A and B are shown apart, each in its own frame.
Chain A
């Protein structure tokens, strides 16, 4: 059984236009606050270390997701990381072509679980797994305590 009346003229079928408006402020949280302050004020990247299993986490977490224990020890990241995956983006979020391809990658750090997704400051053809990279910071005056305080990663 289906609808007993159906519109035969498709032009009579209407649409209603609208948007879903919303506005957010996300605070960094307890572990995040420490991470972003260090990044902003001292240009340092920190992870956390679980006292139970010894696993190190980046980005830092207040808890170890394996042991489900609270974590309070912060540790420095190594000076360099390694690209685990990369892609070259050639269109913007609305699918308009970009004047220049932007390379994005997942950067992992030796001895740490997780990683950071960020821009790779390289030509698209160089974007490949295994590349050793170091963080590039914005100058201190323009840092705000957000992930964008990193320009990205460069070889």
Chain B
């Protein structure tokens, strides 16, 4: 995983290479050991290169190999690992390399500009929407219907930005941030304030997925974590017809992953979670979708400290997107990456003090309709 910054000098290919090289070095592998490469990256419009998957492939180690690019909006952060998993689980590859990249700084004056083109051209675009609007609308409905005070949402931003203080790649770590800082930050689109949002970033992350055979033969068991279950789901594109209070698509994706991982009671059987947190309310929304909090109660859990690193259910011990940064697909390093480092005891200053055996991560994207979920264990 590379550092995440608002603008990095490295090109997208160079970022992809750095991340992939780190993953190979850690696994003690060379590019020749890789049977297939999956590249994950969000809309072409950020990097400003059409057919980004093809453009980035040499940096991702995909040249002259079975290679594909996957894309499910922000959901790509976890979904590309699911696609990598298919390659290995199906037996088609012994070792797959998953590389995710985002270079949002190419886009001027702000990556927000090209988000205008994800909307329906006839129904939505004439209104000149800003992406923050839909999240503000979803957050408003979530907090109003569930009667969640804004403080309980803002606490998520405080927790995650503090958690990120131990992360070597973090863009926005702040060990001293207070609830007042978040609640008094500039209003962007009520109820969303500046510090409720994760920033756009440049960065890349990569992971090596190997079969049990390879892990045994290469004596990698000590440093391996296992994928136990995967799930994904997308809701209707007609977003103005959906109830925005509960993320049904996350619940369905989680159900699929839990069934495979043989998890009957997620709140009891899962030790920590890395839900997608580009906005602070999304962590709460997603905890409810993942069945780790009762509906409308994730805010209360946060207030009570349950989700702190030393709490009963640590949530976003990495620092999340709010603290580490949000180079969309490259958040692979914060979600899948953090599960890996925590489960193998390599998280350093971020290590959860209690022993952890099972974790779940999730990403979210498209027009607030996509959920991808991976359960990992020791």
A29 and B178 alpha carbons, distance in the complex (Å): 37
Instruction: Pick from B113, B121, B122: contact of A23, CB below 8 A.
Output: B113
Contacts of A22 in B (CB 8 A): 45, 48, 107, 113-114, 117
Q: Which of A27, A61, A63 contacts B9 (CB under 8 A)?
A: A27
User: A65 interface residue, CB < 8 Å from B?
Assistant: yes
Which residues from 127 to 171 on chain B have a C-beta closer than 8 Å to any C-beta of chain A? Answer: none
**Residues of chain B in range 28-63 having any CB-CB distance to chain A below 8 Å:** 30-31, 45, 48, 58-59, 61, 63
Q: Are B31 and A68 within 8 A (Cβ)?
A: yes
Question: Do A25 and B108 touch (CB < 8 A)?
Answer: yes
Interface size class of B (residues with CB under 8 A): 20 to 34
A16-B121, A26-B106 as given contacts; A62 in contact with B114, CB under 8 Å: no
Q: Which of A32, A65, A67 has the largest count of B CB atoms less than 10 A from its CB?
A: A65
Q: Are A25 and B11 in contact (CB under 8 A)?
A: no
* Stretch of B16-24, B69-77, B333-341 that contacts chain A: B16-24
Known: A62-B14, A63-B59. A68 touches B113 (CB 8 A): no
**CB of A21 within 8 Å of the partner chain:** yes
Complex Cα–Cα for A25 and B103 (A): 11
Interface assignment of B353: CB less than 8 Å from any CB of chain A: no
**A31 interface hit (Cβ, 8 Å):** yes
Known contacts: A22-B48, A22-B114, A63-B17. The answer to whether A29 contacts B10 by CB under 8 A is yes
A62 touches B17 (CB 8 A): yes
Docked Cα-Cα span, A31 to B20, in Å, equals: 18
Is B259 an interface residue, CB under 8 A from the partner? no
- Residue pair A30, B122 in contact (C-beta under 8 Å): no
A70 to chain B, nearest CB (A): 7
A-B contact count (CB 8 A): 73
Cβ distance A68 to chain B, nearest Cβ, rounded Å: 4
- Inter-chain contacts of A70 with B (CB < 8 A): 17, 21
Smallest beta-carbon distance B68→chain A, Å: 17
Could you tell me if A20 and B24 are in contact, using CB atoms closer than 8 angstroms? no
Contacts of A68 in B (CB 8 A): 17, 20-21, 24, 30-31, 61
Verify if B242 is at the interface (C-beta below 8 Å from A).
no
**A contact residues around B221 at 8 Å (CB):** none
- Within 20-54 of A, Cβ neighbours of B (below 8 Å) are at 20-33
Complex Cα gap A29–B12 (Å):
8
* Cα–Cα, bound, A63→B201 (Å): 23
CB closest residue in chain B, given A57: B58
User: What are the residues of chain A within 8 A of B63 when measuring CB–CB?
Assistant: 65-66
- Does A18 belong to the interface (CB within 8 Å)? yes
Q: How far is the CB of A117 from chain B (nearest CB, A)?
A: 15
Given A23-B108, A25-B108, A63-B17, verify A33-B9 contact (CB < 8 Å): yes
10 chain-A/chain-B pairs, Cβ below 8 angstroms:
A20-B45, A20-B117, A22-B113, A25-B106, A30-B9, A63-B21, A63-B59, A65-B61, A68-B31, A68-B61
The 6 closest A-B pairs by CB, nearest first: A29-B11, A68-B31, A24-B48, A65-B58, A23-B108, A63-B17
Q: Which residues of B contact A (CB under 8 A)?
A: 7, 9-11, 13-14, 17, 20-21, 24, 30-31, 45, 48, 58-59, 61, 63, 105-109, 113-114, 116-117, 121-122, 125
| Given A16-B122, A26-B48; 7 other pairs, CB 8 A cutoff | A22-B113, A22-B117, A25-B105, A27-B7, A66-B63, A68-B31, A70-B21
